Amino acid sequence: MRKFIAFFERFRVFLFFAFLQIIALSLYVTFLSFPKFQFLTSANAISGQLYTWEHDLTKHFNLSDENSKLQDENISLRSQLPQSLFKLNTQTIKINDSVYRQQYEYLPGEVINSTVTKRNNYFTLNIGEKHGVRIGMGVFSPCGVVGKIHSTSEHYSIVKSVLTKDIDIDVRIEPIGLTGLLKWDGRNPTRGNIVGPSNDLKIPRGSKVITSGESGIFPKGLMVGTVDAVYAIEGEALWDIVITYSEEYRTLQRIYVIKNLMLEEQQEIEKSIPEDKEEGK
C-alpha cells in the first residue's frame, strides 16, 4: 500500500496533466462537429477492418464444411437431371415417378494424393467400400471426367485417371455426334486424344467433347473437354483428335463417384451379343 501511495506522490503532476488532457480531448470531440466526425469515422474504419479479419478467418476455417455442403447440393440437383434418370414410358416426356426411374447416384469425395507427371497417373480418394465405392465405377468433378475406380479398401480407393494409358472412356463430339475413345499419350496433363472417328466428316475446332454414356459407367453428357486440333492419320481413314481437358487435374480436389443402379442389368443383357467370327470358321 505504501508503494502504491508513493507512486502517486511521485507522479502526481504527470497523472493530473494526463487527466486534464483526457477531459479536454473529450470536450473537443464531443462539441465540435468535424473532430467528432473524424473520430467516429476512424473508429468505424477500425471496427470494420476487425470485422473483416474476423470474417476472413472464420470463412477459412469453415471452408471445408461449406464445400461439403455444396457437394451435397450438387448431388441432389444432378440426381434430378434427365441424364441421371431412366425413362420407363417412351410415349411421354413428362418427368414424374411413373415415367422415370433413378439410374445414377453420386458419392462425394476428395482427392488426397495424386500424380500427373508419370506415364500412368492414379489418384487416391478418401472414400472406399464402406461408402459404397466399387471397382469400375466412374469418377468425375464439377468441371469434367476424372477416371475409373481401379482398386478399393474399406476407407480409401484408387482412381485410374484419364492421364493413364488405355483409359478408354467412350466420348462423343458435339454437335456432330461422332463417337470415339478417350486416350492419353503421356505428354501433357492438360490435353488428351480421341481415336476412332472416321475422317469423312469435318470436326470444327472448339467442338465440345462429352461422355457418350454407352458403357453405363458414366451418364451421357458429362464434360470432357474441347477439340483443340484435328490431324489426318496417314494411310487410314481416321482422325487424330487432340482435345483440351475441361478439368485442371494438377489442382483437383473435390470429386464424385458414379453409381449406376442399372449397370449390372445392362452388362448381363450385353453378354448375349454374339461374338464376331472370321469367315469360314
Q: Domains of the chain: which residue ranges?
A: 2-54, 82-263
Q: How far is it, in rounded angstroms, from Cα 210 to Cα 222?
A: 5
At residue 188, φ and ψ (nearest 5 deg) are -110, 120
Which pLDDT value is given to residue 243?
97
pLDDT at site 182: 95
- Listed ranges 32-36, 50-54, 230-234; the one with the highest mean pLDDT: 230-234
Q: Is 206 left (phi over 0), alpha (psi -120 to 50) or beta?
A: left
As a whole number, mean pLDDT of residues 151-173 equals: 94
C-alpha grid cell, residue 144: 469434367
pLDDT of amino acid 97:
43
The CA-based dihedral angle spanning residues 91, 215, 227, 161, taken in that order and rounded to the nearest 10 degrees: 140
Rounded average pLDDT over 85-94: 40
Percent of the chain whose predicted confidence (pLDDT) is above 90 = 43
How many other CB atoms are found less than 10 A from the CB of residue 208? 16
Helix (H, G, I), strand (E, B), or coil: what is residue 116? coil
Q: Which homologous superfamily does the CATH classification assign to the domain defined by 82-263?
A: Rod shape-determining protein MreC, domain 1 (2.40.10.340)
Please state the length of the chain: 281
Quote the CA–CA distance of 50 and 58 in Å, as a whole number: 12
Looking at this protein, which amino acid is placed at residue 242? Answer: V
Mean pLDDT value of segment 156-175 = 94
pLDDT band at 95 (very low <50, low <70, confident <90, very high): very low
Q: What percent of the chain has pLDDT over 70?
A: 65
- The pTM is what? 0.65
- Decide if pLDDT at 32 tops 70: no
- Phi, psi dihedrals of residue 66, rounded to the nearest 5°: -65, -40
Question: pLDDT of 205-248, one tens digit each?
Answer: 999 999 998 888 999 999 999 999 999 888 888 888 999 999 99
Q: Which residue has the higher pLDDT, 138 or 262?
A: 138
Instruction: Read off the pLDDT of residues 65-76 as tens digits, 9 standing for 90 and up.
Output: 556 656 555 655
What is the C-alpha separation between 265 and 270, in angstroms, rounded?
A: 9
Whole-Å CA distances, 116 to 88, 95, 119 = 42, 41, 8
Written as one letter, the residue type at 105 is: E
Cα separation, 233 vs 30, in Å, equals 85
Q: Over 50: is that where the pLDDT of 166 sits?
A: yes
**Which cell goes with 74?**
450438387
Query: CA-CA distance, 241 to 195, in Å (whole number)?
Result: 7
